[in-house]
Amino acid sequence: MMHKRLRAAALAATLAAAVPAAAQQNPTKAAPAPAAPTCLAPDMRRADRISWFNGFSSSDDLLTAWCRIQTLPGQKLRFNVLFRTTGMHRGWDTSFQGGALPASRIVEIVQSLIPAADGPAADENGMEFHKVLRNVVQLGAAKTPGGRALGLPASHPGSRELFLSEPIALRVRPVVLSGQEFTLTVNLMPDLGMLALGLQGQATDVILKGWKARMDVGNRFTGTCSGAIPYCEKLGDVVPFHAPWMVRSVALEASGENLTASAMAIMNQIGASQAAFLKGKQPLAGFDAKTGAGELSFSDGHSAVKVTAVGGTGGTKAIQVLWAAESGPGTLPHNLAAMFDAYRNAAAVKRETGPAAPDSLGRL
C-alpha cells in the first residue's frame, strides 16, 4: 500500500520526534512507495467461531489492530491512544481514506508519547506520560503489578528483558452502525506468551525506549535495584523495553436520546449474522421495547459477545457492543500463558545474539 501521511498537522508534528532526522525536515513529504503492501491484516474468520467487528480477533497484535483500524471509513475521524492504568492519552483528527499508513507507524505514534529524554513532567495538554514508565517491569522480577508470576532466574537469558505491563487502548470515533455514531475502542493487554515468542524470534517483537530516570529502577544514590527491575546495574540512560500487546476485547459504545430503534436493529443484525451461536435464542428475547433496556449475549468458548442497551425515560439511552476473548483451556490467551510458563521454566533456553536494533522499527 502507498506510504501516505495522516492529514492532521498535529499528528505529523508528534511523529517527527520518532522518525529519522532526514524525515523530520519535511514530515509531510511522501516517501517512495514500497514494493509491497506494508499494512496487512489477515482474515482470521472461521465458520465455527464468532466473528468480531471489522475482522478483529484475539490473535491481533498492536500492528495488526492498527491495520484493521485503517479500513474504517470516514472523512473526519478522531483517533486516540490511551494508556489504561495511568489514564494518559492523546488524540488526533485524521482520515484513512487516502490510503493506509505502514504497520510500523503505530509503533512510531506510541513511541512519540513515551519520554526518551529528560524533560518536563507534563506535556502541553497536561498529560504526564512519564508515569507510564513506572509500569516497566523486568522478567527477573517476582511478579507484575497485576500479580502475574514472573521470576526468571538470573541465569535465564530473558531475565534482564524489560516490558511494559500497562494495557493500551486505540480509540476511533465516529464509527457509524445502523445509522448511529459509535466510539470504537480496541483494548490490548501485554501478553507474556507473545513476549516469550518474540524473544525467541517466533513472533513480532515491538520494542520501545524510555528515560531510565522515570522508571522504577530503585535508589539511585545507593545503587540498590527495585523489586520491579532487580537487575538495574547496567541500564543506560535510555532503556529499551518490549511492548507485547495483544487484542483482548473490542467495544462499540454510543449514548444519547432515541436510540431504541438503533439498539433493536443492532441486536437483530448481530443475531442474524451469528445465528449459529445463539442456539435458537431470539436476538430481541431480552429486550423491552417500552423501556429500551435489554441484553443479548452468547459465546463459542473462544469469544463472547454482549450487546447491552441501557433504558430510561423515552427509551434506550446508551448502547454497548462488546467482543471479548475467553481465557479457558484451549483458547489463545490460555495457550499463550502456557507458552510463557514453558519459556520461564526452560533450563537451557538459547537466544541468538546480534547487533542491537537502533529503534523499534529494527525489530519489526
Ramachandran class of 235: left when φ > 0, alpha when ψ lies in -120 to 50, beta otherwise: beta
Q: Are residues 200 and 282 in the same domain?
A: no
Asked whether the beta carbons of 115 and 215 are under 8 A apart, the reply is no
Residue 162 grid cell = 524489560
Q: What band does 9 get if pLDDT is binned at 50, 70 and 90? A: very low
Q: Element (H or E) spanning 105, and its range? A: helix 105-113
Inform me whether the pLDDT recorded for 356 exceeds 70: no
Domain end marker among 223, 248, 273: 248
Distance CA 37, CA 102 (A): 8
DSSP letter for 100, please: P
Q: Is residue 200 part of a domain?
A: yes
For 218-255, write each residue's pLDDT tens digit.
987 787 999 999 999 999 999 999 999 999 999 999 99
Residues 242, 196 within the same domain: yes
Q: Does the residue 339 lie in any domain?
A: no
- Residue 164 DSSP symbol: E
* Helix extents (H) in 224-314: 260-273, 275-278
In a domain, 163, yes or no: yes
User: Which of 14-28, 59-73, 75-89, 109-123 is the least confident region?
Assistant: 14-28
Question: Is residue 364 scored above 50 in pLDDT?
Answer: no
Is 161 inside any structural domain?
yes
Q: Please identify, among 208, 224, 248, the residue that sits at the C-terminal boundary of a domain.
A: 248
**Structural domain that includes position 311:** 256-325
Query: What global pTM score does this model have?
Result: 0.85
pLDDT surpasses 50 at 23: no
Residues 85 and 225 placed together within one structural domain of the fold: yes
Same domain, 137 and 168: yes
The one-letter amino acid at 130: H
Give the separation between CA 300 and CA 288, rounded to whole angstroms.
Answer: 26
In this predicted structure, the answer to whether residue 359 has a pLDDT above a threshold of 50 is no
Q: What is the pLDDT of residues 124-157, one digit of tens each?
A: 989 999 999 999 999 999 999 889 999 999 999 9
pLDDT band (50, 70, 90) for residue 16: very low
Q: What is the pLDDT of residue 40?
A: 86
Of 285-294, 301-310, 354-363, which gets the smallest average pLDDT? Answer: 354-363
Ranges of beta strands (E only) in the chain are 77-83, 89-94, 136-138, 162-164, 168-177, 180-190, 207-211, 218-219, 224-225, 238-242, 245-255, 287-288, 293-299, 303-310, 318-325
Together in a domain, 261 and 215: no
Residue 129 lies in a domain: yes
Is residue 35 over pLDDT 60?
no
Asked if residue 5 is part of any domain, the answer here is no
Q: What is the pLDDT of residue 184?
A: 98
pLDDT at residue 312 tops 50: yes
What are 90's three cell numbers? Answer: 492523546
Tell me the average pLDDT of the chain.
86
Confidence of residue 75 (pLDDT cuts 50, 70, 90): confident
**Domain total in the chain:** 2
pLDDT band per the 50, 70, 90 thresholds, residue 263: very high
Residue 103 counted as domain residue: no
Where does a domain end: 248, 266, 294? 248
Nearest to 3 by CA among 108, 84, 102: 102
